[in-house]
């Protein structure tokens, strides 16, 4: 046996493991989903948040929803600060703009929006975990947006 045998064996085992997981695991590992808080506008006693979602996951998403937490200007989560944002279906490679109207709340009362958890991340083949592990977030306004 030569000194190169153990690394070769490790390479073969790694390749065998990659093949056994198949294409679905490979898609999940490199999946990316981008959410941008694009705008926040006060409208008729409510705050309208505009999000841009881009699906780079490699699969068509049949349903996408997140549990969202809002923070007030003092960094406190108000009693009504837990919300569910449903983005719906987003085909692979598609960018989709979605708006959420938060009744009885002005935009100045929100300092930060946190993605707390995934409520739904579903394709035709089932549930996926890349909607949180492959998620990137950004904001184009004064309201912070984070994971």
Here the CATH number for the domain that contains residue 105 is 2.60.40
Q: Specify the pLDDT at position 30.
A: 62
95 and 73 in a single domain? The answer is yes
The residue behind tokens 């108000």 is 78
Evaluate if residue 135 carries a pLDDT over 90. yes
Give me the domain span that covers residue 135: 31-146
Q: What is the average pLDDT value for the chain, to the nearest integer?
A: 85
Residues 55, 60, 39, 145, CA torsion sign: negative
36, 6: one domain: no
Do 2 and 61 lie in one domain? The reply is no
Cβ(88)–Cβ(98) below 8 Å: yes
The pLDDT assigned to 31 comes to 65
């Amino acid at each position: 046996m030569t000194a190169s045998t153990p690394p070769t064996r490790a390479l073969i085992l790694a390749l065998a493991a990659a093949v056994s997981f198949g294409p679905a695991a490979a898609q999940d590992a490199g999946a990316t989903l981008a959410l941008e808080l694009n705008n926040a506008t006060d409208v008729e006693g409510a705050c309208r948040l505009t999000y841009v979602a881009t699906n780079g996951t490699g699969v068509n998403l049949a349903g996408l929803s997140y549990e969202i937490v809002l923070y007030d200007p003092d960094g406190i989560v108000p009693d009504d600060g837990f919300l569910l944002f449903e983005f719906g279906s987003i085909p692979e490679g598609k960018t989709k703009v979605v708006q959420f109207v938060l009744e009885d709340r002005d935009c100045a009362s929100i300092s930060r929006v946190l993605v707390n958890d995934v409520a739904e991340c579903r394709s035709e083949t089932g549930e996926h975990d890349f909607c949180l592990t492959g998620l990137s977030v950004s904001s184009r306004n004064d309201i912070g947006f984070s994971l």
